[in-house]
Amino acid sequence: MRKISTDTLWDLAAAEVQNRNSNTSEDHGGGDGAVSQRTVFIVGSKTGGKSSILLRCLDRDEATKPTLALEYTFGRRARGHNTPKDIAHLWELGGGTSLSDLVQIPITPLSIRSLSLILVLDLSQPSRLLRTMETLLQAAHTQLGKACSQTQAHAGAKHKASSFQPAARVLPKDYPDRELLSPFPVPLLIIGSKYDLFLELESDKRKVVSKTLRFIGHYYAASLIFTSTKSELQMSKTKSFFNHLAFGLERGKSVSFDSSKPLVIPSGSDSFIQIGSPPTSDVDIGSLHAKSPLDLWKKVYESVFPPESISENKELKDPAKDPQYSEPQVDSMRAQKDQELQQYRRNAAKSWKELELDT
C-alpha cells in the first residue's frame, strides 16, 4: 500500500531549500554554470581609506566621498567566456566605531553562509588602532551569534544538524597552532592602510605594530596585508585578497613577513613560533598582569602606544553633528530650529510654573 506523505507544501519547500544549501560548496561558489553570490562587509578606522580601497579593488575610477553611515554597492565578475557573472554584495560601514550598531543590517541569517569581513585599520593612527579593532570585531561577533541563533530557531529539529554555525568554524587539521587559536566565525581579512604614512614612525615602533597585528591575525585565523592606495604593487596584492573573498578567486602566492616591508600574510601561513614573543625591551612582562597571551600582546602594545583618553577619542553618535557631513545652509536652518525649540521649552516651563502658583 502506497504511503501517503503528511508533510505540507511548506515542509516540502523547506526541505528542498535545506537540501540545496547542504549541497552548496564550502566557498559558496555553486556548481558549474550557477551564479555565486557572496557578501563582503567592510568596517574599520574612521577616514582610514575604506572607500578608496574598495573602489580600487572594483576598478572604479570615481572620486571618493565620506561614507554616510552604511552604504551598499555590488560587484560582478564572470568566471569565464559566456558564463554567468558572479555577484558580490558589498557593504561599507562609515563612522569608525560610532555606528557599530548598524552591523545588524549586513549580518543576517540569510547572509552569514556566504559572509566575509574586511577590517581596515589606519596604520598612521596606532594609538586608536586596537580600540577600533576590538570594538568592531566584538560588534560583528555578537551579531553573528544572534544571526546564527535566528537561523537555528527557524530550522526544523530534523534539519538543525546541517544548520550553519559560525561559532564552530573548523580549521584544517594541518593549520598551524590549530588548537591554540580562536578563529573568527567568518573569513576575516585585516588590512593595514596608509602604509606610506606608517613609514614615518620609528622602526622599533613599526615593529611593535607589525608583530602585534601578526599575532592577532593568526589568533583569529585571519589574513593580514599592509597597503597604500599610492602604491600600484601593494594595491594589486590587496585586490587579490579582496577578489578571493568576493569572488572566490585565488589569492596569489605572495607572502611577506618582514616588518621592514609591507606585510602580506594569507591565513594559515603564519605561526606563533615565526611571530616570536612580544617586543618588550622596555617593559617588565611580570608587571602587566596579563590574563592570556592575547591580553599580554595588547598590554605590551598599549605600553608603547597608550590609547587615547575617552575625551580625546570620543566619536559622535549623531552624524548630523559630524563635521565631515557639514552642509552650511542645512546646518544654519537646523541651528535656528534648535533655538526655537529651546525657546518653546522655556516658555512651556514658565507657563507650567505660573499655573502651579495660581492653584
Distance CA 206, CA 226 (A): 12
pLDDT surpassing 90 at residue 272: yes
- The Cα 287–Cα 129 span in angstroms is 23
Mean pLDDT across the stretch 338-345? Answer: 83
pLDDT of residue 191: 98
The predicted-structure confidence for 165-217, as pLDDT tens digits, reads as follows 454 578 999 999 999 999 999 999 999 999 999 999 999 999 999 999 999 99
pLDDT over 70 at 231, yes or no: yes
The full 3-state SS of 183-214, as one line of letters, equals CCCCCEEEEEECHHHHCCCCHHHHHHHHHHHH
Residue 27 confidence (pLDDT): 44
Of 115-129, 220-234, 236-250, 317-331, which range is least confident? 317-331
111 pLDDT exceeds 60? Answer: yes
Q: Residue 11: pLDDT band by 50, 70, 90 thresholds?
A: low
pLDDT tens-place string over residues 130-168: 999 999 999 999 999 999 888 777 665 445 444 444 545
- The most confident of 42-56, 166-180, 299-313, by mean pLDDT: 42-56
Which pLDDT score is estimated for 24?
41
Distance in Å from the first CA to the final CA of the chain? 88
- Which position has the higher pLDDT, 324 or 188? 188
> What is the pLDDT, as a whole number, of residue 14?
54
Strand spans (E) along 26-142: 37-44, 70-78, 85-93, 115-122
Distance CA 63, CA 160 (A): 46
Q: Which residues pair with residue 73 across a beta bridge?
A: 90
Helix 293-304, helix 126-154: angle, nearest 10: 150
The pLDDT tens digits for 71-96 are 999 999 887 777 788 999 999 999 99
Partners of 117 in the beta sheet?
41, 188
Highest mean pLDDT among 10-14, 154-158, 194-198, 313-317: 194-198
Residue 8 pLDDT: 61
pLDDT of residue 1: 47
Instruction: Answer yes or no: is pLDDT of 23 > 50.
Output: no
**Long-range residue pairs from 15-22, CB within 8 A, at least 24 positions apart, any chain:** 15/159, 18/155, 18/159, 18/162, 21/113, 21/162, 22/162
Cα torsion angle, 317, 323, 328, 332, sign: positive
Confidence (pLDDT) at 127: 96
At 146 the pLDDT is: 92
Residues 64-96 as b or e (16 or more Cβ within 10 Å = b):
eeebeebbeeebeeebeeeeeebbbbbbbbbbb
Q: Long-range pairs for 306-311 at CB < 8 Å and ≥24 separation?
A: 306/127, 307/127, 307/128, 307/130, 307/131, 308/127, 308/128, 308/131
pLDDT at 252: 83
Residue 129, pLDDT above cutoff 90: yes
**78 and 85 Cβ atoms separated by less than 8 Å:** yes
